Amino acid sequence: MEGELLSIRNLLSTQATLIHGLVEGVNIDSLSLKASEGSMVNGLENVEDREPTDLERWLAEFPDMLDVLLAERRVDEALAVIDEGERIAAEMKKTELSSPGILRSLEIAITERGQKLADQLAEAACQPSTRSSELRAAISALKKLGDGPRAHSLLLNAHLQRYRYNMQSLCPSSTSYGGAYTAALSQIVFSAIVQAASDSLAIFGKEREYRSELVMWATKQTEAFAGLVKRHAIASSAAAGGLRAAAECVQIALGHCSLLEARGLALCPVLLKLFRPSVEQALNANLKRIEESTAALAAADDWVLTYPPTSTRQSGRSSVTSLGNAAAFQHKLTSSAHRFNLMVQVNILSF
C-alpha cells in the first residue's frame, strides 16, 4: 500500500507541474498578443499623426491639377505635368517601395487625362477656323502624347477641308475661259499640298510611314483635281476639237504641279496620264475637222499654184525657229493646200 501511495503522489506531482506550465504559456501568449496589438495601434497613430511627404501631396493633387489645366486648355502645361507623372511612375516601378495601389491610381490618372487631352487636340485640329500655327501646335502636341499616326492623318485631313472650303468660291459655270478656272483651281489645290508637305516634314520628319501616307494623299488630291479640270474645262473643248484650249489647260495644271517637285512629290506623270485621253480626243476631233475642211476646199479649188499669202508668209517666217529649216522655203501650192498647211501649223503651235 505504501508503494501504491508513493506512485499516486508522484503522478499528482507530475500533473501539477504540467498544469502550471500550461498556465504560464497561456499567460505569455496573451501578453505578446496584447503587446503586438498595442504596437499596431501606436503605429497607426504615428502614421495618422505624421505629415505627408511632398511626393504624397503631389500624387494626391495630380488628378485635380490636370483637370484644371485641361479645362483651361493650357496644353503645354498639361503636357509637362503628364511627362512629370510618367517620370514619377517609372521611378516608382524601379524602386518597388511604393504601394501597388498608389502606382495603379497614378497610371490610370495619366491615361485618362492623356486621352482627354488628345481628344481636345483632335477637335481643335478639325476646326476650319483654327489658324495654321495653332494647327501645327495641336498636331505636334498630339504626336508628343504618343499618337503619331492619328496626328498625321488629322493634319492631312485639316488641309483637305481647308482647300475644299476655299474651292466653294469657284464657279466653273461663270467662267467662259477654261484656263482661268484651271489656274484658280490649281493654285488652291497645289498650294494646299505644298503646305501639307511642309507641315508633315516639320513635325514628323522623313519617317517612311508618314512620308508614304503623304504621297498617297497628294496623289489622291491630284487625281481629284484632274477630274474637275477635265469635267469643267477640257471636256467641252476636247469634244469640239478645241486643241489649243485643252492644251493650255494642261500646261497651266502642269506648271503648278511642277512646284511640288521641290518637296519631293513628282506628280506631273499622274496628271499626264489622266489628261492624255482628253487631249487625244481633242486632237482626233481637230484632225477630223481638218480632213473634212480640206476635202471641201479641194472640191472647190481652182488648182492654181500660188505662193502663200503675205500674212501666212510672215507667220511662217516667225515660226521658222520652232518648226525647223524646212519651213523656211515657200512653195507654190493651191489655195486648199495653203489652207491645209495653215491649219496644221495652228495645231502644232497649240502644243
Kindly state the cell numbers that stand for 212: 508614304
Q: Is the pTM of this model over 0.75?
A: no
Q: Given a cut of 70, is residue 103 above it in pLDDT?
A: yes
72: confidence class by pLDDT, cuts 50, 70, 90: confident
105: confidence class by pLDDT, cuts 50, 70, 90: confident
Residue 249's Cβ-count burial label (10 Å; 0-12, 13-18, 19+) is: buried
Q: Which of 42-46, 111-115, 141-145 has the lowest mean pLDDT?
A: 42-46
Residue 206's Cβ-count burial label (10 Å; 0-12, 13-18, 19+) is: exposed
Instruction: Kindly report, residue by residue over 324-341, the tens digit of the pLDDT.
Output: 444 456 778 887 787 788
* Highest-confidence segment of 22-31, 55-64, 172-181: 55-64
Classify each residue of 98-130 as buried b or exposed e, where b means 16 or more C-beta atoms within 10 Å of its C-beta.
Answer: beeeebeebeebbeebbeebbebbbebbeeeeb
Q: Given a cut of 80, is residue 95 above it in pLDDT?
A: no
Pairwise CA distance, residues 305 & 212, whole Å: 64
Q: To 5 degrees, how large is the angle CA 311–CA 313–CA 314?
A: 65
**What is the residue extent of each domain of the chain?**
56-125, 148-282, 301-349
Closest CA to 135 of 150, 127, 125, 122: 125
Beta carbons of 278 and 230 less than 8 angstroms apart: yes
% of the chain with per-residue pLDDT over 70: 76
Question: What residue type is 81 in one-letter code?
Answer: V
Q: Which of 158-162, 227-231, 270-274, 324-328 has the lowest mean pLDDT?
A: 324-328
User: 223-226: long-range contacts at Cβ-Cβ below 8 A with a sequence spacing of 24 or more?
Assistant: 223/270, 223/274, 225/185, 225/186, 225/189, 225/190, 225/253, 226/253, 226/270, 226/271, 226/274, 226/275
